[in-house]
Amino acid sequence: MQRIVVPGEKLEDKPLRIDEAFTEDGKTYSTIMSVYDEERKVLTPLEGMWYPRMGDQVVGVVAEDKLSVYFIDLNSPYKGLIFAKDCNDDLMAGDIIEASVKELDKTKTAILTRPRKLFGGKILYVNPAKIPRILGKGNTMIRQLTQLTQSSITVGLNGLVWIKGGKVDLATEAIVTIQQEAHTAGLTNRIKALLETGK
């Protein structure tokens, strides 16, 4: 059974380790507005904003090139920063990159490492809270998307998704559908049917 919960609402009468939840007096409570799956013990946020953590894989757009650094738009209150010495590609404003968060500083800047330029393709902005559903458990959903559309798809935890080649329009439609229906049951099978019909 699934139910919508608000911050502070009790999930279980026992302590459980659940992302976006806390325990108090032996009970578990939600910290966010979300859908709670009582059988799987999983919270799916209804809304959300990405706040970087070390190791997060992100997709970003180069916003500015200044001397020896590149400033990256990460679709977040945090801006990204890449040092030119860490980059194998020459970048310019408007370029799309994939990178990993190396560290965070106190000025809401995420220092990025291992940048890779993504050539061509298109960028899709999605709610960062829905990214786990787009990836799927054990990356099952994203594998299904890439296999059935023959597209290259790079998913950033910050809510930017890069798509190139194959059936780009079909991949886009599927990702938009996942975002809209992330809280519903049977989504994986519905997306598979959509992708197979689209073929």
Per-residue pLDDT of the chain (199 residues; tens, 9 = 90+): 778 888 899 999 999 988 888 999 999 999 887 888 888 888 877 767 788 889 999 999 999 988 889 999 998 878 899 999 998 888 999 999 999 999 998 878 999 999 999 999 999 999 888 899 999 888 999 999 999 999 999 999 999 999 999 999 999 999 999 988 887 888 889 999 999 987 5
**Could you tell me if 101 and 148 lie in one domain?**
no
**Could you tell me if 99 and 130 lie in one domain?**
no
Task: Tell whether 89 is covered by a domain.
Answer: yes
Ordered alpha helix ranges (H), the chain = 131-135, 140-149, 168-180, 187-198
What pLDDT score was predicted for residue 184? 80
- Tell how far CA 37 is from the center of its chain: 20
Q: How far apart are CA 83 and CA 103, in angstroms?
A: 13
Task: Tell whether 193 is covered by a domain.
Answer: yes
Q: What is the value of pTM for the model shown?
A: 0.76
What pLDDT score was predicted for residue 115? 96
Task: Tell whether 69 is covered by a domain.
Answer: yes
The token pair at 190 is 């519905």
**Could you tell me if 126 and 85 lie in one domain?**
no
Residue where a domain terminates, one of 67, 91, 118: 118
CB-based contact 55:65 (threshold 8 Å): no
Q: Which long-range contacts (CB under 8 A, 24 or more apart) does 2-5 make?
A: 2/35, 2/36, 2/37, 2/38, 2/183, 2/185, 3/35, 3/36, 3/38, 4/33, 4/34, 4/35, 4/36, 4/46, 5/30, 5/33, 5/34, 5/35, 5/36, 5/43
- Tell how far CA 117 is from the center of its chain: 18
What pLDDT score was predicted for residue 199? 57
Task: Tell whether 51 is covered by a domain.
Answer: no
* Residues spanned by the domain of 78: 57-118
Residue type, 124: L
CB-based contact 71:79 (threshold 8 Å): yes
Number of domains in the chain: 3
**Could you tell me if 106 and 142 lie in one domain?**
no
**Could you tell me if 31 and 77 lie in one domain?**
no
